[in-house]
Amino acid sequence: MAEVSQQGEKNTAGKIRSNKSSTKIDMTPMVDLAFLLLTFFILTTTFNKPKAMELTMPEKIDITQPVGDKNVLNLILSENNKIFWYVGLEPPVFETNYSSAGVRKLLLNHKQRNPKLVVLIKPEDKSKYENIVDVLDEINITNTQRYAIVDLSDDDRRVLKTKKLMSLK
Amino acid sequence: MGKVKVHRTPPSLDMTPMVDLAFLLVTFFMLTTTFAPEEPVAVDIPKSVSEIILPDNDRMIITVANDGRVFFDMDNKNHRREMLQTIGQKYSVSFTEEEIKSFAILAGFGVPVRNLPQFLAMPPDERKQVVQPGIPVDSLNNELADWVVYARMSNPKLRVAVKGDRGANYDIVKKVVETLIERKVLRFNLITGLEQEV
């Protein structure tokens, strides 16, 4: 196995004898170990760290800023990955999805038409966490400055109910 | 011709450069690697194009599992000890030195404070078997709020991150977010994976 050059054993007479045996060490076990460790660390290392999305929420205050009806785009995140949206307070309510041709196009269109646009994101209780992250992502992509995550109001529920009934027919 | 010459010397090759390289790589990986922290529950995180990297230190992670259970995690052993002691006083639950020690090195957890001593007394491998019920976040019994408050008291520099499963229902996430807002945590991070834009 590991043969380290042996010296001194036969040196009984106090005479320094030139050592003829080779000074080579068998490195195989060391290399085995090195590669074992290498494989282990390569396999356990994680390079892609999770990324994070910054979200700033307003403090809970009762004063609500009035915004013009026409500037408001309501996005209601519903169950089964559906988005219902309408402008202002009243229907018509439209349906869209989370694809880039869906909600992103919608945001871009409205932003172009109305620079004072305020997007209200209203997630229903049955919507998934992924939905809200997706919408926030699209808001970041389209660089929409003014948006808020709010709860559904009773008006929204009423509007949504009629829409859902209509789509059932 | 046609005579095959027999090699007398055994075929040997100089392995030194290869070994050098191998050890270089070993050293590199040993120094760069950070072991993925143990997760109390598997979470499938949603994807976004955001590229903010979450800092490694001074962070508190609130995990929302697929089934709506809530878990809490914070780094730094010393701050965890401090936090556990203050929260123990508040709930008048006393922890032994052993339990505090095992809490300090624990990963994320999702156990109500009252069950915590019992949970900490278990040996680590047994702890993994137990299905943790999650930290209560109801408005009547909101323990998460206390954890957030005491964690921030022990480490004011703490950043809050919410790690939600993509399939978690929004009403649980809403409760967590509302809890944070009520405790004046208005700026926080949502942990997401990186999405490859097509």
- Give residue-wise pLDDT tens across range A60-114: 665 566 666 677 777 888 777 778 887 776 667 777 777 777 777 777 777 777 7
pLDDT of residue A140: 81
Confidence of residue B32 (pLDDT cuts 50, 70, 90): confident
- What ipTM does this complex have? 0.71
B192–A128 CB contact, under 8 Å: no
Q: Count up the domains in chain A and report the number.
A: 1
Chain A residue with the nearest C-alpha to that of B182: A60
User: Does residue A19 lie within any of the structural domains?
Assistant: no
Is residue A139 included in any domain, yes or no?
Answer: yes
What is the spatial distance between Cα A120 and Cα B11, in angstroms, rounded to a whole number?
A: 75
Assigned domain for A28 exists = no
* B170 with A132: Cβ contact below 8 A: yes
Q: Please state the domain count of chain B.
A: 1
Q: With contact defined as beta carbons under 8 Å apart, do B192 and B46 qualify?
A: yes
- Report if residue A78 sits inside a domain: yes
Residue A140's domain is classified under what CATH number?
3.30.420.270
B181 near B79, Cβ under 8 Å? no
Q: Is residue B101 in a domain? A: yes
Residue at A13 is within a domain = no
Q: Label residue B93 by pLDDT band (50, 70, 90).
A: confident
Asked whether residue B15 is domain-assigned, the answer is no
- Secondary structure string (H, E, C) spanning B5-36: CCCCCCCCCCCHHHHHHHHHHHHHHHHHCCCC
- Nearest-Cα distance to chain B for A132, in Å, is 8
**Cross-chain Cβ contact A38/B50 below 8 Å:** no
What's the pLDDT tens digit per position in B49-89? 777 777 777 888 888 888 878 888 888 778 888 888 887 88
pLDDT tens-place string over residues B129-157:
777 887 877 777 777 878 888 888 777 78
Report if residue B38 sits inside a domain. no
* B139 inside 8 A of chain A by CB: no
Chain B residues touching A131 at Cβ < 8 A: 170
Is residue B39 a part of any domain in this protein?
Answer: no
The torsion region of residue B165 among left (phi > 0), alpha (psi -120 to 50) and beta comes to beta
pLDDT of A8 > 50? The answer is: no
Q: Provide the residue range defining the domain that includes B80.
A: 47-194
pLDDT at A105: 79
- Residue B30 forms part of a structural domain: no
- Cα angle vertex B179, ends A55, A158, to 5°? 80
Residue A1 lies in a domain: no
Torsion region of A126: left, alpha or beta (phi above 0 gives left; psi -120 to 50 gives alpha) = alpha
- The pLDDT, as a whole number, for residue A123 is 83
* Minimum-distance CB partner of A55 among B26, B34, B190: B190
Report yes or no on whether pTM surpasses 0.90: no
Task: Indicate yes or no: CB of A41 within 8 angstroms of CB of B194.
Answer: no
Of B16, B25, B195, the CB nearest to A38: B25
- The answer as to whether A36 is a domain residue is no
A4 lies in a domain? Answer: no
Q: Which of B170, B183, B191 to mutate to test the interface with A (most CBs of A within 10 A)?
A: B170
CB proximity B64 to A under 8 Å: yes
Which stretches does DSSP call E strand in chain A? 51-56, 72-78, 82-87, 94-96, 118-123, 147-149
Neighbour count for residue B90 (Cβ, 10 Å): 13
